Amino acid sequence: MTTISRERIEQYVNDPRMCNVNDEIRQIARIALASLEAEPVAWECGENIILFNPDTVEAYAKRAEISPKPLYAASPVSVTPDSWISCSERMPEKGQNVLISVNFDSSLVEPLICSARYTGSTFRRGDATIKPGNGIEQATHWMPLPEPPQEANQ
């Protein structure tokens, strides 16, 4: 999976030397950058209460002691890391389903990559329990599962 970072998109937008394809790529990059920088168009402040002015939302939220929910013209895209995260660096949230890389420390056996659920201390896959770490038969790295495909609303 490849992710285009905000910085990379800005390079495409601002530097005509980035690619030899005419303005179409830069226009697509402008659209992508705009979607990453999207601001809410309104806020939901309770059942059947939608406010459009940010100042009004802030004042209403303080008075009603609520946390307004931002509403966007298009849903913000969730950003999922597309690289492996070392188990020694950080661990997933408890109960999170992830991909793991299991080390077998062998020139004959490639590392195993499989999905598993993090329990808070180990990874579980069916009846198997895999400990995080750098030893043999331990999960050395993990990454979040990719987002599932979205069905178009009919």
Instruction: Read off the pTM.
Output: 0.46
Count of domains for the chain: 3
* Residue 22 counted as domain residue: yes
The answer to whether 113 and 130 have CB atoms below 8 angstroms apart is no
Same-domain pairing of 94 and 111: yes
* Residue 76 counted as domain residue: no
Same-domain pairing of 107 and 140: yes
Same-domain pairing of 140 and 90: yes
Structure tokens, 67: 């946390």
Give tens-digit pLDDT for 38-73: 778 888 887 777 877 888 888 887 888 888 887 776
| Strands across the sheet containing 50-51 | 50-51, 42-44, 69-71
Structure tokens, 112: 């195993």
Give tens-digit pLDDT for 15-40: 766 655 555 566 667 777 776 667 78
Domain carrying residue 108: 85-144
Is the pLDDT assigned to residue 92 strictly greater than 90? yes
* Residue 123 counted as domain residue: yes
* Residue 78 counted as domain residue: no
